Amino acid sequence: LSFVMSISVNDALALWPRPRSLVSGSSAIKLTSDFSINATFPSVPEDLTAAISRTQSYLQNDELERLVVGRGASDAPTVQAAQELELLTVSLTPSGANNTPESITEVSQKALGDRDESYTLSIPSDGSSATLLANSTLGLFRGLTTFTQLWYELEGESYTLQAPIEIVDSPAFPYRGFMLDTARNFFPVFDIKQTLDAMSWVKINTFHWHVTDSQSFPIQVPGFMELSQAGAYSNNSVYSLADVQDIVSYAGERGIDVLMEIDTPGHSSIIGRSHPEHIACFEESPWATYAGEPPAGQLRLASSSTTNFTASLLAAVANLLPSSLFSTGGDEVNIPCYDDDPQTQAELNATGRTLEQALNVFTQATHSALRNLGKTPVVWEEMVLDHNITLGNDTVVMVWISSQDAAAVAAKGFRIVQGPSDYFYLDCGAGGWLGNDVQNIGCDPFKTWQKAYSFDPYNNLTAEQYSLVLGGQQLLWTEQSGPQNLDPIAWPRAAASAEVFWTGGSVASGSLNISEALPRLHAMRFRMVQRGVRAIPLQPEWCALRPGACDADA
C-alpha cells in the first residue's frame, strides 16, 4: 500500500482519514457565495440528494479558521485575489450510471466485499468546475465527505491555499467500525444518530450495535415482546421496531451498515426476567463465581427447548436488519454456572453430551437459523480459541482480549475484525466501577488516540494471512457511559482507527506518522464541535495552533 502526499505537516490539508493518493499545489481558490453541487446523471437517489444538501450545509457552517497562529488572518490578501470556484459536478462512471443507480443505502448494506467506496476528486486552480467521479453512489458520498474537509474560513470566505488538488481514494479494508453497547446504559435514538453522523465524517462504515446484555434487553422483537417488557430499564428505555428501522435507515443514508449483536449463551441473564426456564444461575450470588460482572445468568445451552428458543429469537432479530452480518456473541461463557445448574447437568446426562458438545449443538442451531436468512455469523474470539466447536469457514471472528490473539485466529483460517482491548477499548481508564472495590483498576490505562493510531493491522500475521483481516473498530462498553458523556469519550479518539483501517498503514511501517496526523485530527475535532458533537480537545489550543511544538521531543 502506498500513499502520495505532496504537502508538509505545517501546511497539511485537514483531511481525515488520509486519502490513498493526494497531489496538491500552492494556488488559492475560494468558493463563490452561490457555490453549487450538481449531479450529472438521471434518477439521482434521494439519499444522494440529501447528502449533497448536507455537504452544502457543512460548507456554509463549518467556519473552520486555519489552525495556525493568527487563525489565517495573514491569508486575507491572497484570499481576496483568489480565483473563485462555483461548481462541483458529481458523476458516476458509465458502469455505475447504468439503468437506475443504486442508492447510498443499498450499496452500504451489501456484503463487505461488494461495496465500492472509491472516488476521484479533482479541483482545478483556475476556477473551472471541480469534478467528483465514482463507480457508486457510496463512492460519491465518500468523496463529498472529503470535499467538506478541504476548506478553511476567513471573513466569510471558504478557501484553500493548495489548489490544484487531485485525490484518488479508496479504503484498504472493507470493515471500519464503531461498537456501542446500549445495554449497560440506554442511549436515546438522537444520540445514536449523532454518533452515526460523526462516524460518517471519518468514513466509518459499520455500526456494531451491542444492543442487549445481562443488565437489560432494550429492543422490541416481533414474537418476543415480553423480553423488552420485562427486560428494559423502563418503558422509555426501549428501541421500538420503528426506532430500529429509523436507525438502520439513518445509518444507510450515511454509508453505514448496522451489524447487530445479541450475545449468547453468556451475557444473557436478563432473559430470565421473562423466561426463567431458559437461564441458568439466574442472578446467583456471589455473582463473581458465575459471571464476569453482575448479574449472573446464562442461557441453558444444553436444553433443546432453550436452543430452539434462542435460534428463533436470533432469527426474529436478524429479520429486522438488511445487513449480511449478524453477531451471536459467544464471549465469556462461564463454566461454573453450568456445573452448578441442576437442569443443565440433567440435560447433559440425558443426552450423554459434554458441555462442549452441547455448546457445539447450540451454536450450530443458532448459526443455521441465521444462515437460513442469508446472514453470515459473527462471533467473539473465544468461540474459536477457547472452545472445541465447529464453525462455518465464512464465520467472522472479532478479536478483543489481546492484540496478540489475531495470529491464533488466523492460524485457524477465519476472517478477522481487529478490536483488541489493549488498543481500541474506549471505556478503559476510568478505573473499576464495582461499588466497594477500591483496588479494582478495570482495563486501565486510558487508551489514547496515539495508542489506537499506532496499531498495526497485520501485527504477528504472515503475509499469507493478511487477506483474512477484514478491518477493525474501536469499542465503547458503557458501564460508566451514557448519553451525557458519549461524545467526549468517543470523539475524536474513535477517528484514530478509522484512518488506520482506511489507509491500511501503520506507524511501525512508517506509512503513518503521529506527528503528521495530529494537526489533521485537531481540524477534524474542530469540525465535529462546530457540527454539534462534543468532541474533547486533544491538547491545549496553543499546541493545536503550533503543529509539532508540543511533541515530546520538540
538 alpha carbon, distance to own chain's centre: 20
Structure letter (DSSP) for residue 219: B
> Hey, what's the cell of 338?
453450568
The rounded distance, in Å, linking the Cα atoms of 309 and 348 is 18
d(CA 452, CA 450): 5
DSSP 372-389: TTTPEEEEETHHHHT---
Are 351 and 384 contacting, i.e. CB atoms less than 8 angstroms apart? no
258 contact partners, CB below 8 Å, separation of at least 6 = 206, 207, 209, 247, 248, 251, 252, 321, 323
Given a contact cutoff of 8 angstroms between Cβ atoms, the answer to whether 271 and 217 are in contact is: yes
**Three-class DSSP category at 32:** strand
Out of 63, 86, 293, 332, the active site residue is: 332
Give yes or no: 332 in active site.
yes
CA distance 324 to 373: 9
Task: Count CB neighbours of 404 within 10 A.
Answer: 12
Burial class (CB in 10 A: 0-12, 13-18, 19+), 87: middle
Determine how many CB atoms are found less than 10 A away from the CB of residue 24: 21
Query: H helices of 62-131, where?
Result: 76-80, 94-97, 104-108
Nearest-10 crossing angle of helices 304-318, 355-371? 30
Length of the chain counted residue by residue: 554
* Chain centroid to CA 267: 22
Give the ranges where 62-201 is alpha helix by DSSP (H).
76-80, 94-97, 104-108, 137-148, 189-201
Cβ–Cβ < 8 Å for 116, 139? yes
Q: Which residues contact 248 (CB under 8 A, 6 or more apart)?
A: 258, 320, 321, 322
Distance CA 293, CA 533 (A): 31
Residues labelled as active-site residues: 332
